[in-house]
Structure 1
Amino acid sequence: MKFHLLFICFFISFASRSQTPSELDFVGINGKLSSDKSIIYGNFIQRLGFSSGGFPQSISIVNLETNESYVFIVKPAMKTSKENKFCYYIKPGHYAIVNYIWYKSKMYGAEIFTEPIIKGIDTSTDEFKEKVKKGEIKEEDLIMFTFKIEPNSLNYLGTWHFNTGLVKFTDDKIDFDAKLKTKYPGIDFNNSITNLPE
């Protein structure tokens, strides 16, 4: 699915948006599927090489049918591990991954970075930002990762490789599900759908 450059630039910074994104609800240890919400889960590999100072890292998504925007934490505050599990409730719908949001520690506080996520393009580079400024990025180059959530469904979204500028998603479901079964006894991971963003 293709999106206009204007659409991408519109989502680059939440600070300029009139609509504040809603936070997805975290699935607790007693979590279960419900009739009005589904569950997404997966493993997030964060980018290293900068000082995050214990700040969280998040992903923003947008429902392409309702235009509602959401954000969820993929690396909790004060966690130093490279990989982190995520598990959230979500409304059914067709979603696009919009931004990777992370912090860099400064002497007094932190600087926030919001990177658009586009297939096959490293948006973390100064070169990309310069091309956007000069209008050199073509519309056909801007394809976002999307995933569709059906009602009352349990969705394995894969391992999210955000450790480099070029994002990718891999299927490690069998090993990953085994790690989660004791943490979420009310969820039958054998019935989950592999639903990698495409």
Structure 2
Amino acid sequence: MKVVILPLIGVCLLSTRLAFSQSPATIPLDVAVADSLDQLPLKSLLPAINYWGPDRGIMPKDKGIIYGSCVQRLGFSSGGFGQYVRLYNLTSGKAMRLEVKPAFKSAKQNLFCVALPPGRYALHLYEYTESKWYGGEMQVENIRKTDSTAVRAVNTAATRYVFTIVPGELHYLGTWHLDKAGQPYFSDDKITTDEHLRRTYKKLDLDKAQLVVPR
């Protein structure tokens, strides 16, 4: 799905161009890899999750803290637009957006650290905007497993990458490689990530983080 963002005298006009024939209120259903997330309404204005502030030292009792990094699709051509991964809590049935590339930053790889309600999560969509001379063009891409056994399955856990969050705990979610279309993968780079994160998040005990790289 492509969304063209056109700036006009201080007003942002959205012109949506759909690459499929189904209703624009839903995500296209790919019969080969169909699962329950394909039937969810596509609400583009879902608010992003707030970052966990580096000055906050007390772990929340009702949420878990997650951290990791994301290798984004565009680099410099992403311009001043943010990039997001839409998460779906399979336990509560609620969706949320995780900012994996802050606005006004063009670094290829970016860290994230947020607090999430507990539950089992599936990675649903990758949303990014490519800077154009007329404004920007937003892309919405399904995040799916690519192995042959998952492609033939209809179970969400078999077709999507999932992880589980426990309240009151710190979780390391690995490096999310989303730089190649249709080829997501997730690596364990905790030592390197911790070195970078310790410079800012001095109150988090990163050595006690649970390893929950999406699988």
Specify if TM > 0.5: yes
Structure 2 regions of 5+ residues with no counterpart? Answer: 1-32
Give the 3 Å change call, closer, same or farther, for CA 95–71 of structure 1 in structure 2. Answer: same
Is 2:179 the partner of 1:197?
Answer: no
User: Which protein has greater RCO, CA pairs closer than 8 Å, 6+ apart?
Assistant: 1
Q: Distance in 1 between matches of 2:46 and 2:195?
A: 32
Is 2:116 the partner of 1:107?
Answer: no
Give the 3 Å change call, closer, same or farther, for CA 102–21 of structure 1 in structure 2. Answer: same
Q: Distance in 1 between matches of 2:191 and 2:121?
A: 25
Q: Distance in 1 between matches of 2:127 and 2:144?
A: 14
Give the 3 Å change call, closer, same or farther, for CA 77–5 of structure 1 in structure 2. Answer: same
Is 2:79 the partner of 1:53?
Answer: yes
Q: Distance in 2 between matches of 1:69 and 1:8?
A: 10
Is 2:39 the partner of 1:23?
Answer: no
Does the 8 A contact of 1:57 with 1:74 survive in 2? yes
Does the 8 A contact of 1:8 with 1:116 survive in 2? no
Is 2:78 the partner of 1:62?
Answer: no
Does the 8 A contact of 1:12 with 1:114 survive in 2? no
Is 2:117 the partner of 1:91?
Answer: yes
> What SS does the aligned partner of 2:77 have?
coil
Q: Distance in 2 between matches of 1:47 and 1:148?
A: 25
Is 2:160 the partner of 1:144?
Answer: yes
Does the 8 A contact of 2:34 with 2:154 survive in 1? no
CA shift for structure 1 position 6: 5.8
CA shift for structure 1 position 63: 0.5
| Residue 174 (structure 2) aligns with | 158
CA shift for structure 1 position 163: 1.2
Aligned length: 177
CA shift for structure 1 position 197: 0.3
Aligned residue identity for 1:24 = I
Does the 8 A contact of 1:61 with 1:69 survive in 2? yes
TM-score, normalised by the number of residues in structure 1: 0.80
Q: Distance in 1 between matches of 2:178 and 2:41?
A: 17
| Residue 128 (structure 1) aligns with | none
TM-score, normalised by the number of residues in structure 2: 0.74
CA RMSD of aligned residues (A): 2.4
Q: Distance in 2 between matches of 1:51 and 1:71?
A: 22
Aligned residue identity for 2:53 = G
Q: Distance in 1 between matches of 2:46 and 2:178?
A: 21
Q: 1:82 aligns with which of 105, 108, 111?
A: 108
Identity of aligned residues (%): 35
Q: Distance in 1 between matches of 2:41 and 2:109?
A: 25
| Residue 132 (structure 1) aligns with | none
